[in-house]
Amino acid sequence: MTTKIFIDGDAGTTGLEIRERLAARSDISLVALPQAQRKDAAAKRDILSAVDVAILCLPDDAAKETVALCDALGGGPKVLDASTAHRVAQGWTYGFPELCKGQAAEIAKSRRVANVGCYATGAIALIRPLVDAGLIRSDQPLTINAVSGYSGGGRQMIEAYESGKAPAFELYALGLGHKHVPEIMAYGRLTARPLFVPSVGNFRQGMLVSIPLVLDALPGRPKAKSFEEALARHYAGAPHVRLAATPAGGRLDALALNGTDDMEVFVVADERGHALLVARLDNLGKGAAGSAMQNLDLMMGK
């Protein structure tokens, strides 16, 4: 028996990637609206009533409109939302299977799943296990630095980089209120708002998220080994997340996991009491379409 799936917003970067992945699967039947009916609410309602799962790759307001159509059907299909709209909303399950023990089971039984954000994937993967282990306080002041490939920035950014009009590297969201901060706080179990500094480089995909720490400022003045042990314990048996050794030469290539759905976490430390936590992933893989595939399979009982 095949699962009928409708991708609402399959013309964007994430939607195209998801559609390409699903088109090759024999257990999936993709259902689509004709181009002329993409903004026809009645036509969309009809297709939503006929499918098992709707995957939303839309701006936030449009995602909320589609969810309202699903709700009006008396439940409608299961929904996997790749937008920011529902990541901290009541009644939605956060789509990060490795978040904590039992999270994958929660996703599997949920009818409303909000796919994790790309930057948030790396930040929460580093923070949550260490907060749970008591190595970082919930109110600890944290700085999160991150760089992504330009494919995560939407159509205008992609066009600017691919036409040669964009700079080689730039900081952005300098209002210091990036849309991923609420989910990082909620699922990283932070009570103090972190200083989040995102940036984009002139490469299509790939991501590094890093968090510098002064060990003497943390509870009990822990050693870096404690961080490694906590992360290794948290991700033991996880198919897509692993603790990795610091590469020889002291460098990390942001593009090394491109084309995969994996994420590596690192603990780099020196004898002077400084440590650096780093997560490496493909922003279109584990940071977007890859995590959507993980969540979809769970929702389908795979």
How far is it, in rounded angstroms, from Cα 17 to Cα 278? 26
How far is it, in rounded angstroms, from Cα 176 to Cα 79? 30
Sheet containing 112-115: give its strands across. 28-31, 3-8, 53-56, 78-81, 112-115, 93-95
Is 276 in contact with 268 (CB distance < 8 Å)? yes
How far is it, in rounded angstroms, from Cα 209 to Cα 254? 9
Find the angle CA(74)-CA(289)-CA(161) to the nearest 5 degrees.
Answer: 125
Is 189 in contact with 138 (CB distance < 8 Å)? yes
Residues belonging to the active site = 118
164: left (phi over 0), alpha (psi -120 to 50) or beta: left
CA distances (Å), origin 231, targets 24, 104, 220, 270: 34, 18, 18, 18
